[in-house]
Structure 1
Amino acid sequence: MKAQNTANIGIGAEIGLPSGNFVNLSGIGLGTSIKADFPIAADFAISLNGGFMNFFGKRNQLFKVQDFTYIPAKAGLKYHLSESFYAEGQLGAALPLTNGQKTLFVWSPGIGNQFKLAGENKLDLGIRYEAWTGKNNTIGLNRSDTKGFVGIRFAYVFGL
């Protein structure tokens, strides 16, 4: 198996499809991200990911849910199952940009495929499940709350 042996950086667009109870608060999330991979062994790389994500709050006749706007920052391990197909797991934090929201713990397993382009450049298509977990103080209740979603990422990857 021949995996990447050089570092790379990718710039991409993100789509978030809420799942579970998060569907009641948001219909879709849109964002952007920058992700860097640094090889540490033949098929393993350390990945660093930062970006911007906005989940649009739902509205109806009775109430309007505030948008959830965050800067997710994650680090993890990527394993190349073949030359182009990979699996990865990341941990990190989602930092709020909206008043009244709190920093959340992030965990995210996913898979993806990188399609070769000219030179060392690639097109990266990834799908993951991502969960943002933290304390929620809604109406005097102090309980743990998770916002889960399926994330889809389309990125252009530059070989370094």
Structure 2
Amino acid sequence: MKKFLFVCIALFVFKSANAQYRGQTDNKNIFLSLGAEIGIPSNTPYNLTYGAAAQAEIKLMPQLGLTFSGQYTAYNYKSSLLANSDAEKHPSFIPLKAGLKYYTSPNFYFGGELGSTVQSNNGTGNMFVYALGFGFDVPLDKHSDIEIGFAYQNYSASQYQTTGMRVAYRVGW
């Protein structure tokens, strides 16, 4: 945990040092990102979620972006429960969401998304999904960033609630 905290602080310091590199003169309007996600479920028989996500963002104003995202998320059972039951496959979902990102500074944002998801391993009906979170971008060069985000995601089936982290490579033009 100490190493994770150190890495987050180091990235934040690096981001602050490079803030002048892009700042308010950044005129890119379209961004695409691809990344990995990991999370901790709340009040469930699962102990971990993991997956991948892709996101497109279109800047509506300098501080506001419209987002469209697709994910693949799998839930991992707690080992103690799995050993004592005839559990089915780990549930996995494919959420499709749209939302907004509000930038409080050139590289820090708050966001929210709404959408629909389907359980991919048995194709059961759609569930409503929403996510609320925040994150920051670590500039790599003029056109790319590493995006680090933290979010709470909840499905209409109340047993699927997750607090997670996303690390993605983001390109803008």
**Aligned partner of residue 64 in structure 1, secondary structure:** coil
Say if 1:4 and 1:83, in contact at 8 Å, map to a contact too: no
- Counterpart of 2:49 in structure 1 is 29
**Aligned partner of residue 61 in structure 2, secondary structure:** coil
Residues of 1 paired with 2:123 and 2:66: CA distance? Answer: 33
1:92 alignment partner AA: G
1:156 aligns with 2:169: yes
Higher-strand-fraction structure:
1
1:57 aligns with 2:57: no
**1:119 CA displacement:** 2.0
1:112 aligns with 2:135: yes
Residues of 1 paired with 2:34 and 2:67: CA distance? Answer: 13
2:151 alignment partner AA: R
Residues of 2 paired with 1:96 and 1:119: CA distance? Answer: 39
- Counterpart of 2:15 in structure 1 is none
Residues of 2 paired with 1:47 and 1:16: CA distance? Answer: 21
Figure out how many residues of one structure are paired with residues of the other and give that number.
147
Residues of 1 paired with 2:142 and 2:102: CA distance? Answer: 22
- Counterpart of 1:138 in structure 2 is none
> TM-score w.r.t. structure 2 length?
0.78
**1:57 CA displacement:** 2.7
**Aligned partner of residue 40 in structure 1, secondary structure:** strand
Runs of 4+ with >3 A deviation: none
Residues of 2 paired with 1:114 and 1:4: CA distance? Answer: 15
- Deviations along 1:81-129, one digit per CA (max 9) or x if unpaired, are 0010000000001111122743211011100000100221000000000
Residues of 2 paired with 1:100 and 1:113: CA distance? Answer: 34
Q: Tell me: CA distance 1:4–1:72, structure 2 relative to 1, closer, same or farther (3 Å).
A: farther
Say if 2:28 and 2:172, in contact at 8 Å, map to a contact too: no
> TM-score w.r.t. structure 1 length?
0.84
Higher-helix-fraction structure:
2
**1:63 CA displacement:** 4.0
Residue identity (%) = 27
Alignment of structure 1 residues 128-147 onto 2, 5 Å: 128-134=151-157, 145-147=158-160
